[in-house]
C-alpha cells in the first residue's frame, strides 16, 4: 500500500512540476510547439491527403475484381487502386481548370477593352441630359477627359506599384518552393500510409489497448468510428451533390442557349463542394462571365440558377447529403458560419462533419441520461436507441423455426 501511495504521489508531483515549468516558460513552450507543428506539417498534410484519397480508393477496390482469387489481382489491387485514385483526382482538377481558366481570362480581356468605351458613353449621356442645369453642363463639357489615357495611367500606376512586389520575388519563390516541397512530401507519405493502412491501424490499436482502460478504449474507438462515418458520408454526399448540380446547370444553360455552358457548369459544380453557399459563389462568377457577352442573358442565368438552387436545397441536398450526415439544417448553417469564421473555406468543409459527429454523440448521451432518470424519450430518439441496441438475429435459426 505504501509503495502504491508513493507511486501516486510521485506521479502527481511530476505532473504538477511539469505544469509549473510550462507556465513559467510559457513563451518557450509556445515556440517549441510552433516549431513542432511546422516540422510535422508535411506528415499531417499527408495524413489528410491519405484520408481523402482512401474514400475513393475503398470504392475502387470493390470494383477491381473484388471476388477474384488470383494472386496477381490480390497483390496488385492496392497499388493499382492508389494510382487510379490519384490519377482520377488530378484529371478532375486539370479538366475543371482547363474549362474555367481560359474563359475567365477571356472575360477580363473583353472587360479591359470595353470599360473605357462604356465609361465614355456614360459620361456623354450625363452631359446630354444635364440641360436642366446649364452650369453643370458647361462644367462637364469643359472637362475633356481622355478615358483611354486615364485607363492607361491607372494601368501604369498598378504596374509601377508591382515593382516593389517583384523586388521581393526571391522570398516569394522560396515560399512557393517550400509549399511545393511540403505537398510532395505529404503525397509521398500519404501513399505510404495508404499502402499499409491496415498495419498502421493495427499498431495504433495495440498502443491504445496497452495504455488505455478497456471502457475508455471502447468509447474512444466508437467516437472515432462516428467521426469517420460523418466525414466519409459528408465528402461522398457533397461530391455527388456537386456533380448533380453542375450537370443540371450545364444542361439548363445548353437548353436556354446561354454562353459558356460547359465552363460555368464545371465552375458551379466545383464551388458547390462548399456547403450551402458554394452554389451562390458559382452563380456570381458565372453571371460575371456571361455579362461580358450579354447582360440580358446574365439575368436569365441568375434566375435559372436561383430556381435550380431552390430545387437543389429542398430536394437534392436533403436526400444526398442531409440524410447521410444526420444533421438538421439549422445546425448545418451554424456549422458553416462558425467554420468559415475559424478556418475559411477549409473550416466550412470540416465544420459540417465535425458538427454532425458531435450532434450524434450528444444525442446518444442525452437519450442515455434521460432513460437512466426514467424520463420518457421522444419517439424519434426511442427508435434510434432501439436500432442501436437491437440484438443480432440468427437468420438460420429463424428459418428452421419456420420449417417446423
The fraction of the chain above a pLDDT of 90, given in percent, is 1
Cβ within 8 Å of residue 34, ≥6 positions away: none
Structure confidence at residue 22 as a pLDDT band (50, 70, 90): confident
Q: What is the pLDDT of residue 390?
A: 45
Pull the grid cell for residue 100: 474555367
Per-residue pLDDT, 271:
82
Task: Categorize the per-residue pLDDT at 317 as very low, low, confident or very high, splitting at 50, 70 and 90.
Answer: low
Would you tell me how many other CB atoms lie within 10 Å of the CB of residue 347?
18
pLDDT, tens only, 236-246: 888 888 888 88
pLDDT score of 161 = 52
Average pLDDT over residues 158-174: 54
Distance in angstroms (rounded) separating the CA atoms of residues 106 and 362: 51
Between the CA of residue 128 and those of 16, 147, 150, 361, what are the distances in Å? Answer: 82, 18, 22, 69
pLDDT of the residue at 295: 79
Rg of the chain taking only CA atoms, in angstroms: 30
Closest CA to 234 of 48, 55, 54: 55
More confident site: 50 or 274: 50
Which carries the bigger pLDDT value, residue 168 or residue 268?
A: 268
Give the Cα separation of 204 and 221 in Å (integer).
11
Query: 111-115, 168-172, 277-281: lowest mean pLDDT where?
Result: 168-172
Q: Is the pLDDT of residue 215 over 60?
A: yes
**CA–CA separation, 291 and 302 (whole Å):** 11
Shortest CA distance to 212 belongs to which of 318, 400, 204?
A: 204
First to last CA, the chain: 62
DSSP state of 273: T
The answer, yes or no, to whether residue 319 has pLDDT greater than 70, is no
**For the CA atoms of 51, 52, 58, 60, what is the dihedral angle to 10 degrees?**
-150
Q: Tell me: pLDDT of 224 over 80.
A: yes
Which region, left, alpha or beta, applies to residue 392 given φ > 0 means left and ψ of -120 to 50 means alpha?
Answer: beta
Amino acid at each position: 500500500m505504501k509503495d502504491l501511495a508513493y507511486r501516486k504521489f510521485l506521479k502527481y508531483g511530476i505532473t504538477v512540476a511539469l505544469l509549473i515549468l510550462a507556465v513559467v516558460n510559457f513563451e518557450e513552450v509556445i515556440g517549441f510547439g510552433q516549431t513542432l507543428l511546422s516540422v510535422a506539417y508535411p506528415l499531417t498534410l499527408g495524413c489528410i491527403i491519405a484520408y481523402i484519397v482512401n474514400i475513393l480508393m475503398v470504392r475502387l477496390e470493390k470494383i477491381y475484381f473484388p471476388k477474384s482469387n488470383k494472386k496477381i489481382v490480390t497483390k496488385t489491387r492496392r497499388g493499382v487502386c492508389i494510382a487510379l485514385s490519384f490519377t482520377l483526382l488530378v484529371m478532375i482538377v486539370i479538366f475543371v481548370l482547363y474549362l474555367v481558366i481560359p474563359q475567365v481570362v477571356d472575360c477580363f480581356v473583353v472587360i479591359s477593352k470595353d470599360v473605357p468605351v462604356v465609361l465614355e458613353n456614360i459620361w456623354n449621356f450625363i452631359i446630354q441630359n444635364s440641360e436642366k442645369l446649364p452650369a453643370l453642363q458647361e462644367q462637364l463639357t469643359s472637362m475633356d477627359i481622355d478615358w483611354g489615357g486615364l485607363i492607361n495611367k491607372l494601368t501604369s500606376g498598378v504596374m509601377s506599384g508591382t515593382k516593389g512586389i517583384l523586388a521581393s520575388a526571391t522570398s516569394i519563390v522560396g515560399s512557393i518552393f517550400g509549399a511545393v516541397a511540403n505537398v510532395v512530401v505529404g503525397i509521398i507519405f500519404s501513399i505510404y500510409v495508404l499502402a499499409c493502412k491496415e498495419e498502421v491501424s493495427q499498431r495504433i490499436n495495440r498502443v491504445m489497448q496497452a495504455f488505455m482502460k478497456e471502457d475508455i478504449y471502447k468509447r474512444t474507438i466508437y467516437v472515432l468510428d462516428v467521426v469517420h462515418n460523418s466525414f466519409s458520408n459528408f465528402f461522398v454526399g457533397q461530391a455527388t451533390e456537386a456533380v448533380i448540380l453542375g450537370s443540371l446547370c450545364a444542361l439548363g444553360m445548353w437548353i436556354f442557349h446561354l454562353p459558356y455552358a460547359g465552363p460555368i457548369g464545371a465552375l458551379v459544380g466545383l464551388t458547390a463542394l462548399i456547403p450551402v453557399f458554394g452554389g451562390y459563389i458559382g452563380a456570381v462568377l458565372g453571371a460575371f462571365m456571361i455579362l461580358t457577352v450579354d447582360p440580358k442573358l446574365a439575368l436569365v442565368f441568375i434566375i435559372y440558377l436561383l430556381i435550380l438552387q431552390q430545387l437543389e436545397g429542398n430536394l437534392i441536398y436533403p436526400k444526398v447529403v442531409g440524410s447521410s450526415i444526420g444533421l438538421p439544417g439549422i445546425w448545418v448553417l451554424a456549422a458553416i458560419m462558425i467554420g468559415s469564421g475559424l478556418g475559411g473555406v477549409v473550416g466550412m468543409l470540416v465544420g459540417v462533419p465535425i458538427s454532425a459527429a458531435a450532434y450524434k454523440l450528444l444525442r446518444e448521451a442525452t437519450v442515455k441520461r434521460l432513460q437512466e432518470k426514467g424520463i420518457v424519450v421522444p419517439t424519434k430518439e426511442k427508435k434510434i436507441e432501439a436500432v442501436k441496441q437491437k440484438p443480432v438475429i440468427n437468420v438460420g435459426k429463424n428459418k428452421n423455426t419456420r420449417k417446423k
